[in-house]
Structures are given as structure tokens and as C-alpha cells.
Structure 1
Amino acid sequence: MPSAPTPALPQTTCKSLDDWNEPTHARRIYGNTWYVGTCGISVVLIATPQGHVLIDSAPEKASVAVRQNILSLGVRLVDIKTILLTHEHHDHMGGLASMQEATGAKVLSRANVVDVLKSGKNDRRDPQFNELAGFDPIVNVHAFEDSSAIKIGSTQIQHIPMSGHAPGGSGWTWQECEKGVCKNLVFADSLGSISDDSYRYSAPDSLANALRESSQRVAKTACDILITGHGTASDLLARLDGAKPLLEPQACVNYAQAGALRLEDRLKKEAVK
């Protein structure tokens, strides 16, 4: 199991919380869940005696920094057995192929994007299709059923379908305990209604309804500690560093409401064009 980073490991201050690739030090989130991402992109390690789980990988340019954070916790890369995703955009999983090569882990994916991961090419269903960079194809990808639980020993990580920002959008929730006090952690996918210039969320075949449903699911999820793929969406690093409260019982509700409001604003703007 990971131990705390050694005292010799320098604490780092981020120059920009929007920089996907800028390195920062690893941080404990709660229990045996750790932040191992960059200043701008969240990557989460869930440590279990039966093998560790990684959620996301950050961009390929950040892959070395993410691996160094994992190693700083006393974790062997080969002990990461499972990799999960929030969604199939290169800023969150561009480093997945190299992480998989370093760990030998299997990748679990929603069935609707297995072919995308294997090809390394996004498809036209994605609202940001014309602006997305590709990524190295992923091997050893296994589909799971939406809303199912990923069980690693006694650890259960529940899937939350969160299409809308991307077709394969996924949230994840699990429980961690410290000194007998257990909390519900939620790694929510983006609820941003962001697109390239040609996509319309108001079109009949768009992901607008899926995005609304995603917001509703997150709002209903038991949520003590919210984690977001872009930490600025939840002040994540400030909370992990003690500058703001880590526990926010209304965080998921507030996050969901903000996403829903952005979508409705987007639809109103499309209606007047």
C-alpha cells in the first residue's frame, strides 16, 4: 500500500492551475486514495491489497510526471492492475498507452467507446470532434456495463454514466475510511457543454439530453469529497492543500446545477443564431 511521500520530496507550487502538463507533488485525498496528477489535470490512484486502480492518465507529455508521482508513494507501477477513464479526450487520457505499457494494466471502458480507444481516433459523435487531437491506440481494453460496479477485493468502485461532454463520459464513486470515519468520494466527469464550431447541442441527435441526465445522476450521488478532471472546477488542489475545506456535502449538487445551467445557456444562445 502507498505510504506518505518521503520528507525529502519537495512540495511544489503550481504556476498555473490550467496547465495540463506542469508537474506537482502527489497528495493524499482520503484513506488510500491519492492525487497523482498534474497542476491542471486530475489523475487518481486507488490503492488496494489486490492491486491498484488508476483513473485517467493526463496527457502524454505529462506521463513521466504522473509516473514519478506514483513511484513517490512507494507504489510499483506493475501493481497497478486496472485503469479507468472519465472520458476519451487526450488531455485526460493521452498518456494512457504509455501508462498501460509501463504497468501492464487492463483498461476498462464503456462499450460505446471501446473502438475509439482501440483506434486512437475520436469520432463525429463527440461535440469537440474537429478540435480534438488523437492519441496512441490502446490495447487490452475490456467493456463493462453502464452503472456496474468494478470490484477489486473489498473495494467497490461504482460507475456513473455521464455522457454529454463526450460520448464515453464516466463518473466514479467509492468509499474510503480513515480511523473508522468513512467518506464517499466522487470523481465526476465534466459537465461542460463545449464543442467545435459546427456542433449544435440543440440538434435532435445531440448529447444534450444525455448531459442533462448526467447532471441529474451526479446530483443524486452520495458525495462527501468531489474530484473533477480539471481541478479548477472544484478547487481541488486548494482543498487538498488545506486552503479550503476538503469535505463539501453539497459539492456534487452544486457542480451538477452549474453544469445544467451552462447547458441551458448554451441552448438559448444557439436558438438566437
Structure 2
Amino acid sequence: MIGKLLVALSALLAVGASDPPAWTKPHAPFRIVGNVYYVGSEGLAAYLITTPKGAILLDGTMEENVLAIEANIRSLGVKLSDVKILLNSHAHFDHAAGLAHLKRDTGATMMAMKGDVWALEHGRHFGDQNYVAPPFAPVKVDRVLTDGATVTLGGVTMTALATPGHTAGCTTWVLPVRIKAGLKTVVFPCSMTVAGNKLVGNRQYPGIVADFRRTFARMATLKADIVLPAHPELAQVLTRKGDEFLQPTLLPNLVADARAAFERQWRKESAIAK
């Protein structure tokens, strides 16, 4: 099932594919676990992490969703001015296009992994693709992150792991959360799909294949009690409740499916290039 969803997501970025209606369909906000809330659309996740000193927002999704995201934040009793930090999983339009607008409205500090800074500040995808990547509003990155960097606000610390491939700065975020079952590790994995990236002959991003393979190796060993992806359907984020979010086998399954799909695509492109 997960494998089929990953294939479908990759296909959406093929030439001529239109955006799924769910990507811009509003969804009511809700608490996931601890201090982690869902404030995104039906098809694109945005996660709000609250702290005693303000909030952290992970991903801005699309420009069309910004007003709904802001309304969701307010409905949770959080002022826009209380959003102090903006983070990004990766610099693709469906996860980053709303960041510039959100930064203006909140005054938050934008932080991103080094490999995605160029794309975020130029408003376009980095690397060669098999499709025309939609441009998006550029956003100024205030703090450039490197692998293992930590972001702390109000006693809450998130750790940034560099997991490139899908984009050069693809970032997996790790957050410890205490719930009734004890201290658990929440992982916000960056996308691991090929998603139209050229694997063979990628002149702008020549290291893409090696990056993907390093990421698969790293992610396969990462402990994750709770997995919250940028595309919520991959973990049924919108339908699970409470302890149902505890899925320690989900991340390894996602990695295995993504790795298998990657190797198939690499073999296909390699054969064509001969």
C-alpha cells in the first residue's frame, strides 16, 4: 500500500500532471501528540510545534493555502506573531511556496538546510528534472543549517538531519515528545521519492544518486516512534488518533519502498543512457 502511494506521488510531478485537489483543500487543525499540531491542507502537511516561548512552523505548503494555515493557527489559540521560527522539509513548490507569505505575516525567522538555500531564495527547484518545476515566491533564509544542527525555542529542541536526494537540502526533522506512553521520538521525514528528478546525467546536481543512496542507508537506521511526513496520506495522519500514531515499523517500510522505486528508476535511466 505504501509503495503504491509513493509511486502515485512521484507520478504527480510528471510532465502534464496537475495538482491534486486535496493539496489546496482546507482541513481543520488538530492535535497529533504532545505539543505537535496539524495545520496544513488535506493533502499537504504543515506542522505547528508549540512551546512556552512561541511556536515553530514546519512547511508552508502552497501559496493558495496560506490564509487557511493562518486561520488554523489562530483557531488553536496561537497568534501569528507567536510563530517565531519557520522551517522547511524541502524546497519544492508544494512545501515551500507559502513560506515567503508566512514569513511576512508572522515575522518569524526562516531556517533551512544549506543545500536548499539557493532554491528557496531563488524560488525555483535546483537540479535537472523530467518536468517543468513551477516557480514560487523566493524567501530569505535567515539561518543556514548544516547536518545535525539544532533549533531550540522555549525548551523544545528539533534536530535537522541532512537527507538529500529528493532535493539537495532535503531535511528530516527529529523531535522528542513526552506522551502518556513515555518519551517518544517524532520524525518528520523528508521526501525520498525520485519525483521527476533526473538520476542519470543530472548536470546541475551530479551527486544526486550518491546522495539518495546515503539517505536511504541513514534513514533505514533512524528510530522513529511517530512518523509525520510532508504528504499526510503516507502515514494516514488525518485519520489516526492518539496511540494510533505510534508506528515504529512505518519509517523502515517507507525507506524500503522508496529505495526500491529509486533503484528501478536508476536502472531504467541507465539503460536508456547506454
Shorter-chain TM-score: which interval? 0.7 to 0.9
Rounded Cα–Cα distance in structure 1 between residues aligned with 2:202 and 2:25: 37
TM alignment of 1:54-65, pairs within 5 A = 54-65=57-68
Question: What is the aligned partner in structure 2 of residue 104 from structure 1?
Answer: 107
SS in 1 for 2:42: coil
Cα distance 1:158–1:103, how it changes in 2: closer, same or farther (>3 A)?
same
Rounded Cα–Cα distance in structure 1 between residues aligned with 2:222 and 2:21: 27
1:126 Cα deviation after fit: 5.0
Question: What is the aligned partner in structure 2 of residue 43 from structure 1?
Answer: 46
Rounded Cα–Cα distance in structure 2 between residues aligned with 1:235 and 1:17: 17
Give the letter aligned to residue 175 of structure 2. Answer: W
C-alpha distance after superposition, 1:64-106 (max 9, x if no partner): 1111111110000100100110000110111111111110001
Question: What is the aligned partner in structure 2 of residue 121 from structure 1?
Answer: 124
Give the total of aligned pairs.
252
Unaligned runs of at least 5 residues, structure 1: 1-15
Contact 1:60–1:95 (8 Å) recurs in 2: yes
Question: What is the aligned partner in structure 1 of residue 142 from structure 2?
Answer: 141
Residue among 79, 82, 97 paired with 2:85: 82
Greater RCO (CA < 8 Å, at least 6 residues apart): 2
Give the letter aligned to residue 30 of structure 1. Answer: V
Question: What is the aligned partner in structure 2 of residue 251 from structure 1?
Answer: 250
Question: What is the aligned partner in structure 1 of residue 11 from structure 2?
Answer: none
TM-score by length of 1: 0.85
Rounded Cα–Cα distance in structure 1 between residues aligned with 2:53 and 2:129: 38
Unaligned runs of at least 5 residues, structure 2: 1-18
Give the letter aligned to residue 140 of structure 2. Answer: V
Q: Which range moves more in the overlay, 18-27 or 176-185?
A: 176-185
Rounded Cα–Cα distance in structure 1 between residues aligned with 2:237 and 2:129: 26
Q: Tell me whether 1:194 sits opposite 2:191 in the alignment.
A: no
The structure in which a higher percent of residues are helix is 2
Question: What is the aligned partner in structure 1 of residue 168 from structure 2?
Answer: 167
Contact 2:120–2:141 (8 Å) recurs in 1: no
TM-score by length of 2: 0.85
Cα distance 1:231–1:18, how it changes in 2: closer, same or farther (>3 A)?
farther
Question: What is the aligned partner in structure 2 of residue 3 from structure 1?
Answer: none
Give the letter aligned to residue 218 of structure 2. Answer: R
